[in-house]
Amino acid sequence: MSTEEKSLHFIEQIIEENLAKGFPQNKLRFRFPPEPNGYLHIGHAKSICLNFGLGLKYNAPVNLRFDDTNPAKEEQEYVDAIKEDLQWLGFQWDKELYASDYFQQLHDWAILLIKKGKAYIDSQSSEAMAEQKGTPSQPGVDSPFRNRSVEENLALFEGMKNGDFVEGTHVLRAKIDMTSSNMLMRDPIMYRILHKEHHRTGDDWCIYPMYDYTHGESDYLEQISHSICTLEFVMHRELYDWFLDQIYDENLVRPHQYEFARLNLNYTVMSKRKLLQLVQENFVSGWDDPRMPTISGLRRRGYTAASIRKFCENIGVAKRENIIDYSLLEFCLRDDLNKKAPRVMAVLDPVKVVISNYPEGKEEWLEAENNQEDESAGFRKVPFSKEFYIEREDFLEVAPAKFFRLSIGNEVRLKNAYIIKGESVVKDAAGNITEIHVTYDEDSRSGSGTEASKRKVAGTLHWVSVKHAVEAEVRLYDRLFIDEAPDSHKEKSFLDFINPNSLLTVKGYVEPSLQTAVSGDKFQFQRLGYFNVDKDSTTSKLVFNKTVGLKDAWEEKGKKDSNSINNALKDINKYFKVNTREERIAIRTAIGETLAGISNYSLLQNSFKKNINNNKSSLLFANLILKYAPLKVSDYDKEELQKLLNMSLRSESTFVRSRAVLNLTHLEFDLDFKNSFREEILKLEANPPKNASEREKEFIEYFLK
């Protein structure tokens, strides 16, 4: 096998094998089949890039087919949004088609199946059908209506079609095998009654086909050669093939279904239902809120189509599910924007600086490079004057040794301008700094070629001239969820992990070159990150969205939190070695402060579980997580709590036993749970271990009271 062939993903390998065995290349045809019941998200982008990428690779047409079989959830708004997203991503479909185009043909094939004795009308309730369908380990039983006559089935189906029955009274089921090991083959529903208006067919139909029946037959009608789905459809393939078997003409292309692993991204949710909930319950402003993982949300935030395509290329196409780190998506974006985005200056938390020795009324226009990564980007002019803004965090009156920004007595360079030195400050009545007074070195202008201009100073600051500054609203977006797996925790809603700081709005100042910026324009605010002009922006009010920072703050925070956990665990070992109670209190307090500052639910839960073992340091640490971490008692698994506290009460260490008793005494456990440990604690009271401390005995006595 050649190197090129080895680099093919498994679906490309399948196609290559098909072609090698004689399948005509001009018969290759793919499709992207979204349901128009929500906006597309980043997970769909993987499927889009896969299907359209195959079309480009093999010069084969790709259909856009809307699987619009559920009028209760589908809207024209979603159709329009999906088309816009596809075109923005850079793809163009061959034919725009709809499953509703095939309603008549699907109906006619359903009649054919009834006449062949392979479909019947079931009049049971949905609850009764679910019960008689059995379980994965127990076969189903036949419906009492399974052997209705062909004539009765045809008459009832016609009545369903004509609107003679209310919803839920009848369904059309395929007659397959109620004992099949694949539960999807146990007489699946083909049609149900829905008295809902369809976004395309209006009220022409009162019955609508189910997805499993529609999908393969639509592929067949369109002569799709390779029907590519995500892994959750593996069990559906047998049913896909069964429906095709009933109508297949060997002179036509028979579609085949192949499954790949869908995209799972941490720190977000991919369920359309949950995304809709975020919209409907006003956690976000809409489907295109820049915090949403929707393609429209990413576009509004400032993501580029190229970065999303690159991301999909990097994660590849595989058969195994895995979770992709959000940081990879942001890396692809930074890499793209770094090459394209013009550099500009903006100040988001301003404090005014006055150059005391700069001439009154003087104004200079200094040359600034637009993008050092792009030689063709050229230069622009930025105005400089006696007063300008810098970021408040870029100044300290008294600076520590490694503070390389402005402070009293120290020098910094202003980007594209001069070297300045901090001299004094002006404060308001509350002691807040309102002005910083500096002096400048007149000969140090950047690019002037003087000796002073070549002088090295520790730091370089961005700035904006007060006189020329353009006020702007800047929306500082962050991840919508604070947990890496917000919808994976039992007994917890994904909404419990909403990041309260996912949007902060500030008033900032930008350089005047941005006055004419329009919606969609992208910039690097130097030293701050990448920003995008929002659609809310007007000529009289600029609005910018923070797209992504220059560095991965979340990865840094994640590493910091993990390191904090590991360091705290090391400190636990010292707890058992120090000699005085004061020293132990100091260690415990420091560990408590560390744990209280960690908001990553998954990290805390994993650390808690990991430390439920017979090691005394681990047991004490798990008890301290229980005591200090910002989680409720109800957030922990009850069996794990039971195991931890039982092991702790039987520990060799008086410190571990004492902490367990204290936790049981003071934390909000329910009474029955607390009392389940009473017998164990009575044993400790009756027969105290030799190393039992007086404080442990006091804690036990207090608990038993």
- 394: Cβ–Cβ under 8 A, 6 or more apart, which residues? 405, 406, 461
Kindly tell me the sign of the dihedral angle through the C-alpha atoms of 324, 475, 519, 331.
negative
Report how far residue 318's alpha carbon sits from residue 300's, in angstroms, rounded to the nearest whole number.
Answer: 30
Q: Is 263 annotated as a binding residue?
A: yes
DSSP state, residue 433? E
- Of all helices (H) and strands (E), which one includes residue 227? strand 226-230
Report how far residue 370's alpha carbon sits from residue 343's, in angstroms, rounded to the nearest whole number.
Answer: 5
Alpha helices in 629-693 (DSSP H): 638-649, 654-666, 671-675, 678-686
Does 272 participate in catalysis according to the annotation?
A: yes
Does 616 participate in catalysis according to the annotation?
A: no
CB 493 within 8 Å of CB 481: no
Q: Is 211 annotated as a binding residue?
A: yes
Q: Is 133 annotated as a binding residue?
A: no
Q: Is 333 annotated as a binding residue?
A: no
Tokens matching residue 182: 């694949």
Q: Is 196 annotated as a binding residue?
A: no
Which residue is catalytic, options 12, 35, 75, 84? 35
DSSP state, residue 359? P
- Of all helices (H) and strands (E), which one includes residue 256? strand 256-260
Q: Is 653 annotated as a binding residue?
A: no
Helix 237-247, helix 103-115: angle, nearest 10: 80
Q: Is 535 annotated as a binding residue?
A: no
Closest Cα to residue 408, out of 421, 392, 426? 421
Burial code (b: 16+ CB inside 10 Å, e: under 16) for 655-674 equals bbbbbbbbbbbeeebeeeeb
User: What are residue 344's DSSP bridge partners?
Assistant: 525
Report how far residue 704's alpha carbon sits from residue 687's, in angstroms, rounded to the nearest whole number.
Answer: 15
From the number of C-beta atoms within 10 Å of its C-beta (0-12, 13-18, 19+), residue 446 rates as middle
Which residue is catalytic, options 262, 274, 627, 695? 262
Which residue is catalytic, options 161, 200, 272, 522? 272
Q: How far is CA 555 from CA 201, 560, 607, 630, 669, in A?
A: 49, 8, 18, 21, 35
- 482: Cβ–Cβ under 8 A, 6 or more apart, which residues? 497, 498, 499, 599, 600, 601
**Three-state DSSP state, 263:** coil
Closest Cα to residue 501, out of 594, 596, 599? 599
Does 35 participate in catalysis according to the annotation?
A: yes
Q: Is 421 annotated as a binding residue?
A: no
CB 405 within 8 Å of CB 450: no
Closest Cα to residue 233, out of 209, 252, 256, 253? 256
From the number of C-beta atoms within 10 Å of its C-beta (0-12, 13-18, 19+), residue 125 rates as exposed
The count of other CB atoms within 10 Å of the CB of residue 700 is 21
Q: Is 362 annotated as a binding residue?
A: no
CB 51 within 8 Å of CB 30: yes
Q: Is 43 annotated as a binding residue?
A: yes
Q: Is 35 annotated as a binding residue?
A: yes
Q: Is 600 annotated as a binding residue?
A: no
Q: Is 172 annotated as a binding residue?
A: no
Q: How far is CA 574 from CA 124, 563, 578, 584, in A?
A: 68, 17, 6, 8
**Three-state DSSP state, 209:** strand
Rounded to 5 degrees, what angle do the CA atoms 165, 169, 173 make? 110
Q: Is 230 annotated as a binding residue?
A: yes
Which residue numbers belong to the known binding site for ATP? 35-37, 41-47, 230, 262-263, 270-272
Residue numbers in the known binding site for L-glutamine are 67, 211
Active site residues: 35, 262, 272
Q: Which residues are annotated as a binding site?
A: 35-37, 41-47, 67, 211, 230, 262-263, 270-272
